[in-house]
């Protein structure tokens, strides 16, 4: 028999990137008196991962819990809060955790309004029939227009097919940094209006406490002392510490398990408990082989819950064993066995990722939701001590029922100044982009919406930021598959490629620097086939950066010995991935990124180029002879 748990609410916070989700959670935790008055608390306390703090974005969904007093029922109510990523590449995290909650707080920036990821996360929440509370945040921001933001959000609800009940949403206005909220854009001194909206409009869990146990594993974590931990909502029944369980795999296999350790969330901690009732989010430790999407069930009546479905990947890269001359000098793990184990282990945590074998035992095809999705995996593995090489990202295509080749397209939203419109329109037009809308907001800039093939976005971000002098903003969200368009131009400039192995010298770099931009500095070890710079022209050029100046006159002046070099361009991981050409690889180690040619030998590379040119001419249609 179903009953309501009025002492519990489960809510997720969803939004576009940088609209203030984690900052709002900070304010909720503080005003629920989770911290001591004299306790020093860092900003965005839930962004505990080092990569999240460095990049300023949420990458992994996280749980917290607060307890507040409900004056209407005269009881304390526990609110389980799930903070979710805002970037489209990590949408798989959002799709998973929405299974744990009954309602969502949809944060919208009062100045920017609904953005691409706002549409994506709202569409998923409406499909699950979750109750939505719209939180218009940053009402104090310059250029904020809360009324226009509310109207655009309401239009988005209708556009996504919301029912009359779903479109009748509650609205709360906030300033998350100051910890203020209100039912109008005139804010009160605290977040009480937000807490009250959660209590009144997020439905309490409807559960059957006497039914057989069912718990869907939604998130995985690892404890150094207790091993792998499974996090999910107890849908029915109750879970006891030490209880025997049946783990139902995604393939339907029944595996006996035991809940060795049982915990729930309190504030930012996990506390041990003896039992967890239906409706609560539980943490079960000691299940070494558990994976996301599996069901923990009663041994006597094992029944599986529906599987979690997430959007398929759109971009792939090849991960391979590092085959450069410097292989094994900087990393801890570098064999194909270790690389394979690590990639397969990642599949347990990330349902949006795909890993498949290739014809080579030393290479694996890894597919994800975007360049950033795969870049985070690469950076994480690098920091764990892995050494490997990756290829340029490519898109995943498929054919429809008529045999037509389809490729992924993305809806791109761009914010720029009026002076930069011309060059940005030309840039996206050359990449087969189709303009959908352009709005001139006056002082706040120009907002342009494009539909662009995912192929056209690969390697575009650095060029876009350079063109807009770092002031432009570009966000995208997956739109769907459409017929493949024509050829899209890739990188315009060729590479400066080292022709000899050795240490880079100032003399050799000076000669190479006259041809383009350098990536290395004097004293750096280089090898034949390593990319040491970007050429000013389209073709690749072999340069000897380890060349030394031979002294022929001992009386030459000091100024002849001194060499002045332009500063080398230091690339981040994201920039290095964007730079890659089809015939280049990125060598990744715990200490360095190195761009290299797939074929290291200079002469062999030249022969390959000539063979490709001969084949291209042979396949080209014959031109008619003019008499």
> How many Cβ atoms from other residues are within 10 Å of residue 385's Cβ?
14
Check whether residue 478 and residue 566 sit in a common domain: no
Lowest mean pLDDT: which of 129-133, 150-154, 458-462? 458-462
For 573, how many CA atoms within 13 A lie in the half-sphere containing its CB? 24
- pLDDT tens column, 600-613: 988 888 888 888 77
CATH code at position 183? 3.40.50.300
Q: Are residues 256 and 197 in the same domain?
A: no
| pLDDT over 70 at 466, yes or no | yes
pLDDT band at 37 (very low <50, low <70, confident <90, very high): low
Q: Are 375 and 574 in contact (CB under 8 A)?
A: yes
Same domain, yes or no, for 102 and 245? Answer: no
Q: What is the mean pLDDT of residues 112-132?
A: 85
Pick 91 or 357 by higher pLDDT.
Answer: 357
Which of the listed residues 206, 228, 246 is the one where a domain comes to its end? 206
**Range 22-48 average pLDDT:** 66
∠ CA 303-304-309 to the nearest 5 degrees? 165
Residue 526 pLDDT > 50, yes or no?
yes
| Residue, of 443 and 160, whose pLDDT is higher | 160
Q: Are residues 35 and 137 in the same domain?
A: yes
Q: Give the confidence band of 42 by pLDDT, cuts at 50, 70, 90.
A: very low
Q: Which of 282, 281, 279, 277 is nearest to 261 (CA)?
A: 282
Domain boundary residue among 297, 314, 331?
297
DSSP at 418: G
**Residues 188, 193, 196: CA angle, nearest 5 degrees:** 160
Asked whether residue 594 is domain-assigned, the answer is: yes
Please, are residues 462 and 578 in contact by the beta-carbon 8 Å criterion? yes
Co-location of 413 and 443 in the same domain: yes
- Residue 553, CB-side half-sphere exposure with 13 Å CA sphere: 6
CATH code (residue 418):
3.30.70.240
Q: Kindly provide the b/e burial profile for residues 341-359, where b requires at least 16 CB atoms within 10 angstroms of the residue's own CB.
A: ebbeeeebbbbbbebeeee
Same domain, 199 and 222: no
Give 559's pLDDT tier (boundaries 50, 70, 90).
very low
**Mean of pLDDT over the chain:** 86
307 assigned to some structural domain:
no
Average pLDDT (53-80) is 82
> Is residue 47 predicted with pLDDT exceeding 60?
no
Q: Are strands 131-137 and 170-175 parallel, antiparallel or unpaired?
A: parallel
pLDDT at 557 over 50: no
Considering the domain boundaries, does residue 388 fall inside one?
A: no
Give the position of tokens 């575009």: 460
One domain for residues 184 and 82: yes
Q: What is the pLDDT of residue 59?
A: 67
Q: How far apart are the first and last CA of the chain?
A: 91
Pairing of strands 315-321, 394-395: antiparallel
In a domain, 327, yes or no: no
The answer on 106 and 185 residing in a single domain is: yes
Cβ-contact 503, 488 below 8 angstroms: no
**Cβ contacts of 95 within 8 Å, gap of 6 or more:** 124, 308, 309, 310, 311, 351, 352
The CATH number linked to 258 is: 2.40.30.10
Whole domain around residue 429: which residue ranges?
398-483
Give the residue among 618, 143, 58 at the shortest CA–CA distance from 415. Answer: 143
CA-based nearest residue to 235, from 283, 277, 278, 282: 278
Inside any domain, residue 306:
no
Q: How many domains does the chain have?
A: 4
Query: Do 96 and 195 belong to one domain?
Result: yes
- Decide which of 253, 280, 297 is a domain's last residue: 297
Whether residue 227 sits in one domain with residue 175: no
pLDDT for 116 equals: 76
Confidence (pLDDT) at 565: 74
Residue 553: the pLDDT is: 55
**pLDDT tens-digit series, residues 144-196:** 899 999 999 999 999 888 899 999 999 999 998 888 999 998 999 999 999 99
pLDDT for 607 equals 87
Q: Which two tokens stand for residue 30?
A: 């503080």
Please check whether residue 391 lies inside any domain of the structure. no
Per-residue pLDDT, averaged over 18-43, amounts to: 70
Give the pLDDT of residue 74: 85
Strands 541-543 and 495-498: parallel
32 and 156: one domain? yes
Q: Which residues contact 625 (CB under 8 A, 6 or more apart)?
A: none
Quickly state the pLDDT bin for 26 (edges 50, 70, 90). confident
Is pLDDT at 247 greater than 90 in this prediction? yes
286-300, 420-434, 585-599: which has the highest mean pLDDT?
Answer: 585-599
CA distances from 282 to 68, 220, 308 (A): 20, 12, 18
Is 472 among the domain residues? yes
267: pLDDT strictly greater than 70: yes
Q: Residue 425 pLDDT > 80, yes or no?
A: yes
Whether residue 361 lies inside any domain: the answer is: no
Residue 6 three-state SS: coil
Q: Where are the beta strands (DSSP E) in 290-444?
A: 295-297, 315-321, 354-357, 363-368, 388-391, 394-395, 398-399, 405-416, 434-440
Handedness of CA 459, 460, 461, 465 (dihedral sign): positive
The CATH number for 527's domain is 2.40.50.250
| Closest to 60 measured CA to CA, from 29, 28, 92 | 92
- What's the pLDDT tens digit per position in 339-392? 999 999 888 778 788 999 999 999 999 999 888 889 999 999 999 999 999 999
In a shared domain, residues 201 and 222: no
């Amino acid at each position: 028999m179903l009953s309501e748990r009025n002492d519990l609410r489960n809510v997720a916070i969803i939004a576009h990137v940088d609209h203030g989700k984690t900052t709002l959670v900070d304010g909720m935790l503080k005003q629920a008196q989770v911290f001591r008055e004299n306790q020093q608390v860092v900003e965005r306390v839930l962004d505990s991962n080092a990569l999240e703090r460095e990049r300023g974005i949420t990458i992994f969904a996280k749980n917290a819990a607060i307890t507040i007093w409900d004056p209407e029922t005269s009881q304390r109510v526990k609110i389980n809060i799930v903070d979710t990523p805002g970037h489209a590449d990590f949408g798989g995290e959002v799709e998973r955790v929405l299974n744990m909650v009954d309602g969502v707080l949809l944060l919208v920036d009062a100045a920017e309004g609904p953005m691409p990821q706002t549409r994506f996360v709202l569409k998923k929440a409406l499909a699950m029939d979750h109750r939505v509370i719209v939180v218009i945040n940053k009402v104090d921001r310059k250029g904020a227009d809360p009324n226009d933001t509310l109207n655009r959000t309401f239009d988005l609800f209708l556009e996504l097919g919301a029912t009359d009940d779903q479109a009748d949403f509650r609205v709360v206005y906030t300033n998350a940094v100051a910890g203020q909220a209100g039912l109008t854009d005139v804010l009160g001194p605290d977040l009480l209006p937000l807490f009250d909206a959660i209590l009144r409009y997020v439905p309490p869990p409807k559960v059957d406490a006497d039914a057989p146990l069912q718990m869907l594993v939604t998130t995985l974590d690892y404890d150094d002392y207790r091993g792998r931990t499974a996090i999910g909502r107890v849908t029915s029944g109750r879970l006891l510490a030490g209880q025997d369980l049946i783990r139902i795999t995604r393939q339907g296999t029944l595996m006996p398990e035991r809940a060795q350790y049982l915990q729930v969330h309190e504030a930012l901690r996990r506390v041990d408990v003896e039992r967890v009732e239906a409706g609560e989010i539980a943490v079960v430790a000691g299940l070494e082989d558990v994976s996301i999407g599996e069901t923990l069930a009663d041994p006597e009546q094992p029944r599986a819950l529906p599987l979690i479905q997430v959007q398929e990947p759109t971009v792939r890269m090849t991960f391979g064993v590092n085959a450069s001359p410097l292989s094994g000098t900087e990393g801890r793990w570098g064999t194909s066995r270790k690389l394979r184990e690590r990639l397969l282990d990642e599949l347990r945590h990330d349902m949006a990722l795909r890993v498949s074998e290739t014809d080579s035992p030393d290479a694996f095809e890894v597919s994800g939701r975007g360049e950033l999705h795969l870049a985070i995996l690469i950076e994480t593995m690098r920091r764990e001590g892995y050494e490997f090489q990756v290829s340029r990202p490519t898109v995943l295509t498929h054919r429809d029922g008529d045999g037509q080749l389809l490729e992924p397209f993305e809806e791109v939203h761009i914010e720029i100044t009026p002076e930069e419109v011309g060059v940005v329109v030309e840039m996206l037009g050359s990449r087969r982009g189709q303009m959908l809308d352009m709005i001139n907001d006056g002082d706040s800039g120009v907002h342009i919406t494009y539909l662009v093939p995912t192929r056209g976005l690969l390697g575009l971000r650095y060029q876009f930021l350079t063109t807009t002098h770092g002031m432009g903003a570009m966000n995208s969200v997956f739109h769907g598959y459409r017929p493949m368009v024509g050829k899209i131009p890739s990188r315009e400039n060729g590479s400066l490629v080292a022709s000899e192995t050795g240490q880079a010298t100032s003399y050799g770099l000076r000669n190479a620097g006259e041809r383009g931009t350098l990536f290395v500095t004097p004293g750096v070890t280089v090898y034949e086939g390593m990319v040491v710079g970007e050429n000013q022209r389209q073709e690749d050029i072999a340069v000897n950066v380890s060349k030394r100046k031979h002294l022929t006159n001992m009386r030459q002046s000091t100024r002849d010995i001194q060499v002045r070099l332009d500063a080398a361009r230091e690339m981040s991981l994201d920039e290095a991935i964007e730079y890659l050409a089809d015939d280049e690889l990125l060598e990744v180690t715990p200490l360095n990124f190195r761009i290299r040619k797939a074929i290291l030998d200079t002469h062999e590379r030249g022969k390959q180029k000539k063979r490709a040119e001969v084949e291209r001419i042979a396949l080209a249609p014959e031109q008619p002879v003019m008499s």
